[in-house]
Amino acid sequence: MTLLLKELSAGAPANADKAPPYWTMRRRDTLAGWLMVLPQLAGIVAFVIVPLGLVVWYSVHEWNVLGGTFEFVGGDNYAALADDQRLGPVLRATGLFSFGLVVLNLSLALFLAVLLNQKLRGTVVFRTLFFSPVVVTLVAWTIVWGFLLQDNGGVNGFLNVLGIDGPNWLRSGGTAMASVIVVQLFKNAGLNMVLFLAALQGVPAELYEAARIDGASAWARFRRVTVPLISPTILLTMILTIVGSLQVFAQIAVLTQGGPETSTTVLVYYLYQQAFQFHHFGYGSALSLLLFFIVLVLTVVQWRMRRRWVFHEA
């Protein structure tokens, strides 16, 4: 009907004196669409695109804040990046933290989600308990763990009752990184658990029934039915957790200040020290670009690899 009318108005010369209205539906939609995305677009330009350009600009300059000088130095900051003796350990700490956190977080979250997906009474209570750290203020959560992990703190106190002499968790090289990972693990595992639980509830029960009839063991059912069917959620949580792990800052600043030595100095913390404690804004900008590059590569690689293992694109 509308198509017919359109054809009539477009094709019939009898209507030629009645010019079509300028504000056609398409034009109106274009105007409305642009108006609607305008705040978001302006925000992204002002707070993402322009700053990203400025980071590049700053990174080829030497900026002395106290002296008030701003000189072009070309690739000097990048050369400094290559020469920086601390950068190797910083990248190693960043990789260790991200890898440890992602593996532990996704395994624990999936394990808990599978447990809660069984027909048990009281799963809602457990779900609430596992999720509650997500809503606790991040720094509050970090402070109480910092208190628990003191040399004479709660964890060692309870270990002592069992006759075990615990280490000074946050002050010894071997345990500081593990401690920071564990603190972050329990803060956010509940979030991924909830996402996994929603995905698990979407797996049709008939598939498990069919697999059981075929004689598949519980592990085989998990490996061959569950994992492929929830793989889109695994991909999503993996990307979100990796990007989130690269942003870790408050936990490091509150728990270890990057120490002992530089064992927990991750890239964002190092960037903060260089820029806002030592006022090396040019070098800090080069570090920022390195961080951006890492986020970009990891995200693109995962997105590319999804075809290999993610079952049916949603």
Contacts (CB under 8 A) with other proteins, residues 43-82: 43-52, 54-55, 58
Nearer to other proteins, 12 or 120 (CB): 120
* Residue from 90, 93, 177, 291 in contact with other proteins (CB under 8 A): 291
**Which residue, among 63, 81, 80, has the nearest Cα to 72 in the 3D structure?**
63
* Spatial separation of the C-alpha atoms in residues 156 and 207, rounded to whole Å: 47
* Residue from 97, 141, 169, 270 in contact with other proteins (CB under 8 A): 141
Tell which positions 216-245 bind other proteins, by CB under 8 A.
Answer: 232-233, 235-236, 243
Rounded to a whole number of angstroms, the minimum distance from the CB of residue 249 to other proteins is 5
Nearer to other proteins, 15 or 52 (CB): 52
* Spatial separation of the C-alpha atoms in residues 233 and 197, rounded to whole Å: 10
- Site membership for other proteins, residue 1 (CB under 8 A): no
Q: Give the total of residues touching other proteins (CB under 8 A).
A: 101
Nearer to other proteins, 2 or 13 (CB): 2
Tell which positions 121-140 bind other proteins, by CB under 8 A.
Answer: 124, 126-140
**Which residue, among 252, 270, 281, 279, has the nearest Cα to 84 in the 3D structure?**
270
Rounded to a whole number of angstroms, the minimum distance from the CB of residue 201 to other proteins is 9
**Residue written as token pair 């910083």:** 90
Tokens of 247: 């942003």
* Spatial separation of the C-alpha atoms in residues 88 and 47, rounded to whole Å: 30
- Candidates 120-128, 173-181, 207-215, 256-264 — which segment interacts with other proteins by CB under 8 A? 120-128
- Site membership for other proteins, residue 288 (CB under 8 A): yes
Nearer to other proteins, 15 or 57 (CB): 57
Nearer to other proteins, 8 or 36 (CB): 36
Tell which positions 158-217 bind other proteins, by CB under 8 A.
Answer: 158, 160-161, 182, 186, 189-191, 194-195, 197-199
Tokens of 272: 């903060």
Tell which positions 23-42 bind other proteins, by CB under 8 A.
Answer: 26, 28-34, 36-37, 39-42
- Site membership for other proteins, residue 152 (CB under 8 A): yes
Rounded to a whole number of angstroms, the minimum distance from the CB of residue 90 to other proteins is 14
- Candidates 7-15, 74-82, 171-179, 282-290 — which segment interacts with other proteins by CB under 8 A? 282-290
